[in-house]
Structure 1
Amino acid sequence: MSKKEIVNGAHPLFSVGLASYALEVFHQTRYKFRWNEPTPRVVQLLLENNTQLPPPRPIRSFPWSDKIEPTLESNMIPFSNQLISKESGHIEIDGERYMLLPASLLERFVSSCLPHAPDMSQNNWIECPSLWSSSECSILALIITSIGELFSLSERSVYITGPESWDAYFRVYLLDQGWGHVTLVSYDVQSYDTILQIPRSPLAPFSIGLITSIWERAHGRKFKLIIGQEDELLQVSISSLLEYKVQV
């Protein structure tokens, strides 16, 4: 970034948007951006201070958002220690390519999408707290669905045989990668009903989307999601959308 170049960038417009946000937040300065693409894999940024641009308007926090607190887990590997910077410019963890996005950027992006989200508040697979608006429930459902579609592209096997299985997946998929802590309240090995507690944060919808995707793949069933809010926590209940007979 010091060279004002994005190497091996994703979609050029996405790369420029992410870089502009990161640079303006880091320098606390508004910029006028231009860019060119000298090669298909390089985006060069041209920055010009722009004092005429007003500061970004503050956004209203979502009901599931709160300040992200540092994890208290003392035996976890620091996330930064897992990152490996490759010569080609990308970042890897355990041999897989990663892109790091600030949570505040995700929340601002989601907030800008709020007026355009299709109404999904009446879907039979999700129930939100009564105090949440239909648009908030809709954007939450949209994020969960999007994460599920991304997860479906992977070929990783998922096996849930008991509470200890959940603990392992929480650590590998969420805690060790900086997504935050998740507490398993209960898990029924026959009905697969699962109750979790997730701290409120901008990342909560993405965590819920990942967890429901794991649940769905492990059990081969469509899920029903009931979300409750308790102070600084979200209580997430996952069960089968359809009724199944329990084999005795």
Structure 2
Amino acid sequence: MAITTTIEMSFSSHTGQLIHPRLGETLVWKQHEFHTWWNLFESTMNHPLSRTIVNAFVDTLEFKNLLRPKRGLFGGKKFQSELHSLSTTLGWGAVNLKSHLVINSAHPLLSVAFAQYVFETLEEKRFKVRWTEPRSQTVQLELDFSQPLPSPSPFDQFPWSNDSPIEHMDDSAITLECGGGHELRMEGERVVLIPTEAFERFLVACLPYTPVEKFDWFTHDIESFEPLETVLPTVIHSVSTMFLKGERPVYIIDQSSWSAYFGSYLNERGWGDVVLLGYNSETFELNATIKPCSSVPFTLGMICGMWQRAHGRAFQLHLTEKDDIFHLTIQSLLEYQNHP
């Protein structure tokens, strides 16, 4: 039987970021969209990435020190209590410490990362992990002791991120349904909470494997983006395709329609705040701004997918930067369609 719980977060209406007191900046993902995005993103890379994303997510959870090792006479009960709290916060699945099973898995890679972090914290040892999926939404882990590894360290953030303190924070609460298996639901759909730091660590690790190619639909005038001219459009394209494979509608009547969709699909789930500057109802050109934050590639992907769904045209995206704000222009990829 599902119960209703409230996850307290700080919300910045200024940047569209959700800040969890323990996870930091956090994105709310629909479970099925994360599945779709992962398959799309990995298929574009020149290397298998399952262990790459697991390691990045494990490092994020460890760096944030979300669980403490078992200590003292009642350490086991305290660890179980902390594990239950973290399980219901993330929504990645429930870890059975005896059977090494994760049930109600939101995605096998999320479950493996979560369970590996749990067992390494509990045992205070490193493990090599193998896994199978004996049945739907169930992950079975096999753990072998590994050589000690250093603790995860900070990393260089991407130029679109912003590590300065977030201003204009408002108290906010997201109401989720939490089932007995620690799955989370929002408006009836299963969701997961993922710290943006986990994605950043993962994308940094992906840089050596990103295919070198020219994207005719993506241009920019931002010098700091030049070393990242492959990973950024790869994320944007995978997220836009993810959106187009789903069923979320986008019906644009006039300029005001965009603000409503930006609020519902992006802002309320921590995917950034989009400020609409202009929309041409004849050429469909869209001009907007977004502020620097870790989720910028994902936000851009969603906007591009929404634009293509609304107009049935392949998009081209141009980015500029002014006064630490990113300006974006979306038009049709076919130039003749950009003139009334």
Normalised by the size of structure 1, how large is the TM-score? 0.82
Give the aligned partner of residue 8 of structure 1.
104
Partner of 1:102: 195
Which amino acid is the alignment partner of residue 186 of structure 1? G
Mapped partners of 2:288, 2:118: distance in 1: 33
Relative to its length, the structure with more strand (as a share) is 2
* Corresponding residue SS for 1:100: strand
**Is the contact between residue 235 and residue 298 of structure 2 (CA under 8 Å) also seen in structure 1?**
yes
Gaps of 5+ in 2: 1-82, 85-93, 97-101
SS of 1:99's equivalent in the other structure is: strand
Structure 1 unpaired stretches of 5+ = none
Aligned counterparts, 1:32-43, within 5 A: 32=127, 34=129, 40=135, 41-43=137-139
2:319 to 214, 227, 232: 227
Equivalences for residues 141-152 of structure 1 within 5 A:
141-152=233-244
Q: Distance in 2 between matches of 1:72 and 1:138?
A: 33
1:174 has 2:266 as partner = yes
Cα shift readout 1:146-173 (whole Å, capped 9, x = no counterpart):
1122112212221112221111011101
Q: Conserved in 2, the CA contact under 8 Å of 1:216 and 1:222?
A: yes
1:203 is aligned to 2:295: yes
The equivalent of 1:114 in structure 2 is: 207
* Deviation digits for residues 84-128 of structure 1 (CA, Å, limit 9, x no counterpart): 1123431111111112111000000011111111124x3221112
Q: 1:72 to 1:153 in 2, by over 3 A?
A: same
Counterparts of 1:200 and 1:126 in 2: how far apart (Å)?
A: 18
1:62 corresponds to which residue? 158
Contact 2:132 2:141 in 1 (8 A): no
> How many Å separate the matches in 1 of 2:249 and 2:178?
28
Mapped partners of 2:169, 2:280: distance in 1: 26
Question: Aligned-pair distance for 1:82?
Answer: 2.5
Tell whether the 8 Å contact from 1:197 to 1:233 is kept in structure 2 after alignment.
yes
Letter in 2 for 1:178: G
Q: CA–CA distance in 2 between the matches of 1:147 and 1:50?
A: 35
Matched residues, number: 241
Q: SS of 2:328's equivalent?
A: strand
Q: 1:184 aligns with which of 255, 259, 276?
A: 276
Further displaced range: 64-73 or 227-236: 64-73
SS at match of 2:230: helix
CA distance in 2, matches of 1:220, 1:52: 53
Contact 1:186 1:194 in 2 (8 A): yes
**Structure 1 moving runs of 4+ over 6 Å:** 35-38, 44-51
Deviation of 1:230 (Å): 2.5
| Higher RCO (C-alpha 8 Å, min separation 6) | 2
| CA distance in structure 1 between the partners assigned to 2:244 and 2:174 by the alignment | 28
Assess if the C-alpha contact under 8 Å between 2:289 and 2:327 holds in 1.
Answer: yes
Whole-angstrom CA distance in 1 between matches of 2:125 and 2:263: 38
Give the Cα separation in 2 of the matches to 1:124 and 1:185.
Answer: 24
Name 2:9's counterpart in structure 1: none
Query: Any conservation in 1 of the 2:332–2:338 contact (CA below 8 Å)?
Result: no
Q: Could you tell me which residue of structure 2 aligns to residue 155 of structure 1?
A: 247
Partner SS for 2:326: strand
Q: Which residue identity lines up with residue 161 of structure 1 in the other structure?
A: I
One-letter code aligned to 2:127: K
SS at match of 1:149: helix
- The answer to whether 1:213 aligns with 2:305 is yes
Q: In 2 relative to 1, CA 151–240 (structure 1 residues): closer, same or farther, beyond 3 Å?
A: same
SS in structure 1 of the partner of residue 223 of structure 2: coil
Check conservation: 1:182, 1:197, Cα contact below 8 A: yes
1: distance between equivalents of 2:131 and 2:332? 50
RMSD after superposition: 3.2
Offset of residue 23 of structure 1: 8.6
Deviation of the 1:227 alpha carbon: 0.9
